[in-house]
Amino acid sequence: MNIISHRPYPDVARVPSELALKDTWDTEAVSKLIRSKCDNGESPAFLFLGRKEAELLRGHLAMTFGAESVSTLHDTYYMGLDVITIDCESFISTGGRKAVRTLQDPIARRPVWRDRETEALWQFRI
């Protein structure tokens, strides 16, 4: 059985770009955009980029990790968002929703205490 993933691609004709980048990738501006969309324990799931912004991100990541590491942005995550390249000249937006996972106390994840004698009666021994 084939499972088809339906991602909510924005309609670039009706949805305006949320950020305009010049000639370099602006990590701080993208971070502010993502943080502005985080509320009520949820954050965006996707970072939609046009061709220009995808190339800027690819160059930015290549400086850090090497050009051979970023030949494509397929299956790339940036700041926790799945990067999706859209077939348009220039566009940057966030979309989708994912719940923010909070750290849990390790004590809360311990198994419940059980009586050894009663538990031993129910164990199968070879």
Of 86, 101, 122, 91, whose CA–CA distance to 41 is shortest?
A: 101
What is the arithmetic mean of pLDDT over 5-34? 82
Between 26 and 97, where is the model more confident? 26
CA–CA separation, 59 vs 66, rounded Å? 9
The pTM of the full predicted model, rounded to 2 decimals, is: 0.69
CA–CA separation, 101 vs 87, rounded Å? 32
| DSSP per residue, 3-20 | ---------TTTSPPS--
Question: pLDDT, tens digit, for every residue of 24-33?
Answer: 999 999 999 9
